[in-house]
Structures are given as C-alpha cells and as structure tokens.
C-alpha cells in the first residue's frame, strides 16, 4: 500500500464534533444549577503529564467547568498522595478525579486507586468500576481506550462499514497492559466480539512481539516506547491506533512522538492515527464527558444514572 493511500484519522476533527455535543450537556446541567468540576493530581517534573494537565485546564475553562490541579513533589510519600485524593473526594465542587500517571515508584497505584470515591473515578481504575467494566456494565468508559474506539468507529463508518459488525471476528492486537489503557482496550474489544490478543514487555523480551502484531487487523499500541512498532511489524491494510505520548528532545525543544514509527507503518496501513492530533484530543474531550456524566450522577441521581457515556 502506498503512502498516499493510508487514511489519516483526524482526532482533532472528531474531538471537535464531540465537544459540540458536550457543550449542550454542560448547558443542560447549568439549567439545573450544576457546574461540573474536574480535579487532577500529578507529580512534578513529568513533561507528558504536565502538558496534558495544561490542555485539560484549557478545555475545562472553554467548556465552563470548574478545574482544580494538585501537584505533588516526586519525593512525596504514599500518605501525601492518599491525603490529596481524600481531600478531592470530600470536596463537593469536584465531580471527577484524574490521577495522572506515572506515579513515583514509592507510591502504589493500586492503593491510590482504591482510595478514590468510585462515583468520582472517571477513569474506572477503582476496583468497583474496573469490575463493572469487566462485566460489560461500565459506569465510566476510560477516556483513552474510548478515544481509540472512537477513532476506529469513525474510520469504519467513513469507509462505508457498520461498526456494529466490523469487529466481529476481527483480529485486534493490543500492545501494553496498563490499568487505564491496555487492559480496558482489551475488554472493549472483547465486548465488540473481536478476536483479541494482548502483548506487553514480556512478549517483546521473548522476541515474539512481531508474531502477534503481524496478525493484527486492528493494532492498538499503548506501550510508552517511541518507535516501538515499525512497518516490518505490521501487515498490509492494518488499522493502526497510536496511544503513545513520548517526549523526545529535538535540540533545545521537546516534541511528542508515538509508539509507532509513523512513516514506515503508514506505508502499509489502511488507516493510522498521528501523534499529536490523533487519540489525544479525543481523550481530553472524553474525560470531560465522563466528568459531566459524574456531575449528573452525583447531583441529579437516578434521573441520569441510566445514561451510557
């Protein structure tokens, strides 16, 4: 497949459409006297997390939502992190809490996630919400895997196919098994009746990664390793979704690149997401979408609880 034939999935355009709908949702809440509030917790000196936090702050302001950010030093201990999560959980102005990864090694993700109020856990990392997702009854759909399938559904629809049937029996390979991206993406693919293969660093260490990625009809890569997947790792016609956000020094500037070697994979792909401008913009809007849903659920209760996000 030539370079010009690969379809570039425009995440910014998809996010813009979602954002228009979300404005209506925010306005509906305002009519009930409710202003959605998002809080983030991150650890300093982490370029991707800080860049993402700035974009969320701007988006929340644009939508008219409340926004609070808590930044902890990298040497903070687990008690500091738990105290911050507890403070945000107790704040009635905050409807959604996002813990930006990675956490420092001295802090357990599992313990911090379990401390979240499940009704404010907009990324579904609390055991209760993760369990609902596992059962196919999600309260919140995690924003990044949701953005991946939003990209896929958009491309499938634009190419004249029905997403409801496209995934059935399709080989979906997910590279990366993080609690907030890789694992939920596997569950979402299974829920669509896809044939799913999950790979991680151990697959790569045994030199077998390419054996699985070459089988992919749909490849979702969320490994946090720049240029991990090249054109040699994929088959012609693959739909490649790049979740990677990796800072790379370019002289005095820092730029973000994905986990795909974009140029070589694009030569073989039917469709591909760029970095930046692919999954990322949709993830941000979807996170706000989850925050708005959380605000509805917490303030208006059963009236809104049946809505699927």
Q: Where are the domains positioned within the chain?
A: 3-9+142-279, 31-137+282-300
Give the least confident one: 31-35, 42-46, 166-170, 302-306: 302-306
pTM attached to this predicted model: 0.92
For residue 79, how many C-alpha atoms fall within 13 Å in the half-sphere facing its CB? 0
Which residues are CB-contacts of 263 (< 8 A; sequence separation ≥ 6)?
3
CATH class of 3-9+142-279: alpha beta
Tell me: the pLDDT tens digits for 269-299?
999 999 999 999 999 999 999 999 999 999 9
β-pair partners for 229 = 260
- Range 31-137+282-300 classified under CATH 1.10.287.610: no
User: In the prediction, which pLDDT does 184 show?
Assistant: 96
Instruction: Give the mean model confidence (pLDDT) for residues 252-271.
Output: 93
Residue 3 has pLDDT above 60, yes or no: no
Q: Report how many helices (DSSP H) and strands (DSSP E) the chain contains, helices first.
A: 13, 11
Q: How confident is the model at residue 4 (pLDDT cuts 50, 70, 90)?
A: low
Q: What percent of the chain has pLDDT over 70?
A: 96
Mean pLDDT (the chain, rounded):
93
CA 52 – CA 234 distance, rounded (Å): 29
Indicate if the pLDDT at residue 13 is higher than 90: yes
Mean pLDDT of the 159-169 span: 96
Report d(CA 268, CA 246) in Å as an integer: 23
Q: Could you read off the pLDDT of 211-244 as tens digits, one per residue?
A: 999 999 999 999 999 999 999 999 999 999 999 9
State the Cα–Cα distance between residues 79 and 30, nearest whole angstrom. 36
% of the chain residues with pLDDT over 90: 87
Give the rounded distance of the alpha carbon of 196 from its chain centre: 18
The structure tokens 């190419």 sit at 159
pLDDT at 10 over 60: yes
What is the spatial distance between Cα 265 and Cα 236, in angstroms, rounded to a whole number? Answer: 9
pLDDT grade, residue 5 (50/70/90)? confident
- Fold: same for 3-9+142-279 and 31-137+282-300: yes
What confidence tens digit (pLDDT) does each residue in 110-153 have? 999 999 999 999 999 999 999 999 999 999 999 999 999 999 99
Residue 198, φ and ψ in degrees, nearest 5: -115, 130
Residues pairing with 8 in the sheet? 272
Least confident of 135-144, 175-184, 251-260, 296-305: 296-305
- C-alpha to C-alpha distances, 217 to 173, 252, 283, 296, nearest whole angstrom: 8, 39, 23, 38
DSSP letter at 250 equals E
Q: Could you tell me if 217 and 238 are in contact, meaning their C-beta atoms sit under 8 angstroms apart?
A: yes
How many Cβ atoms are within 10 Å of 171's Cβ, its own excluded? 17
Assess whether pLDDT exceeds 70 at residue 305.
Answer: no
């Amino acid at each position: 497949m030539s370079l010009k034939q690969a379809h570039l999935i425009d995440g910014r355009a998809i996010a813009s459409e979602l954002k228009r709908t979300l404005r209506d949702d925010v306005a509906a809440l305002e009519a009930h006297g409710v202003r959605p509030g998002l809080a983030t917790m991150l650890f300093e000196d982490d370029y991707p997390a800080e860049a993402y936090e700035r974009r969320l702050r701007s988006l929340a302001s644009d939508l008219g939502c409340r926004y609070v950010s808590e930044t902890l030093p990298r040497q903070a201990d687990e008690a500091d992190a738990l105290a911050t999560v507890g403070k945000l959980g107790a704040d009635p102005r905050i409807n959604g809490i996002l813990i930006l990864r990675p956490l420092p090694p001295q802090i357990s993700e599992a313990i911090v996630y379990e401390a979240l109020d499940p009704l404010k856990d907009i990324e579904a990392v609390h055991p209760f919400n993760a369990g609902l997702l596992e059962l196919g009854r999600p309260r919140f759909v995690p924003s990044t895997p949701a953005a991946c399938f939003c990209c896929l559904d958009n491309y499938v629809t634009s190419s004249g196919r029905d997403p409801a049937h496209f995934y059935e029996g399709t080989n979906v390979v997910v590279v990366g098994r993080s609690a907030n991206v890789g694992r939920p993406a596997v569950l979402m693919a299974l829920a669509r009746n896809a044939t799913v293969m999950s790979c991680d660093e151990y697959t790569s260490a045994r030199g077998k990664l390419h054996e699985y990625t070459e089988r992919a009809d749909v490849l979702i890569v969320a490994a946090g390793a720049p240029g991990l997947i090249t054109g040699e790792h994929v088959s012609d016609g693959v739909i490649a979704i790049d979740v990677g956000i990796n800072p790379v020094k370019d002289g005095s500037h820092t730029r973000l690149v994905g986990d795909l070697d974009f140029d070589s994979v694009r030569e073989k792909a039917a469709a591909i997401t760029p970095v930046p401008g692919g999954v990322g913009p949709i993830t941000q809007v979807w996170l706000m979408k989850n925050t708005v849903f959380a605000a509805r659920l917490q303030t208006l209760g059963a009236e809104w609880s049946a809505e699927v996000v």
